[in-house]
Structure 1
């Protein structure tokens, strides 16, 4: 397999022989390159403004959710059966059902984690149809929403953005979930092309985590792993929880 350096040399050789410097062909190539770059859409980059709202975000409390949306300058999360005939509308409907039906959250404590094969999606697309009065076209879109695993891309922002991990080391826990969500909705969604529904799904998914993001953070924290090498086992979990509770009030 050719190395990157070898390919670069081959490219330079080809240019020198096929389109020598100062030739009409080289000028046409450069003009075409500039035209192509001008046609590529550029995502706007917005500077991040520090979060000034309530750090105790509760997606299942109407006033907390509305205040957070206002702080992030995004439309409040609304849902309807009519809008749910489209995939993103179905996404909002699923989140709305979890927001308003505490019995569903109790029945499916990790409702958004299982994808289309999870118990909550299976229920919504079967027994839940009659119980909630869901039309067939909406059920199809609900299944499509779960298939997309909408919380994955916001999580990737955290995993691959070194600066985000530095600023929000506890982004996956209640301690910084609101601040990180604010960053996603006011800055990262523009640079990474995220839909609001993806961010909302991520926030609800994290809020439903029964261990408050501690396990997910542990897997991404070499410091925690070094301090508690058996942190995710029965031998070290209690000690890890006690330490996190003492230091971060989780």
Structure 2
């Protein structure tokens, strides 16, 4: 891996450890984590960069360095994609001088997003708005927020997502490989594709049985046969091809697998 400084001069040409990796997630980040060791100290200044798989990643914060001996220095260097600039750029109203950091605005997603692009191009260049959803207007207020905080607000407001392709920002649901999906299977002998994995989200146990207790208002117990409202019997509700059988239960709770 070749590391360049901000003037395009080569700083290092190193063999990164096998533990090095790139992390990409929708609405969460695009980073390259480089782990390597050197026999002497070499400073890697901020704004140094690497090119990996056709994308540029920049060092925005000083590297982490651990000295294990006189000739054993361990480096952890995190290179971020272009969208780190959104954390460093305030979302401002640019229609007058001085620019306002606290202001209300009513608009559709495209106008909000175009203002974000204009703010990025104030201090950088080459930012463009790609695809953008067409949705109803919203009245939003801003108060000294970064562009990253704002774009996450937009995604929540319109229940959608965003992605960065270089310096092009797409605002809308992110879909990939619809015409060529990756087949997966689960079970012994059916491993995932290399690099994929599974992990639990938090410590909360999954819901295995849903217990429902209905209300007790306006019920004639003698005629209805129960003091609380029951779900319909012997019926199924289908949602996205997964059949959910409705059954009368007595309380609302969740039970760990195995109980």
For normalisation by structure 1, the TM-score amounts to 0.24
Q: Say which one has the larger Rg.
A: 2
Select the structure that is richer in helix: 1
Q: Which has the higher strand share?
A: 2
TM-score (norm 2): 0.23
Structure with more contact order per residue of length (Cα contacts < 8 Å, sep ≥ 6):
1
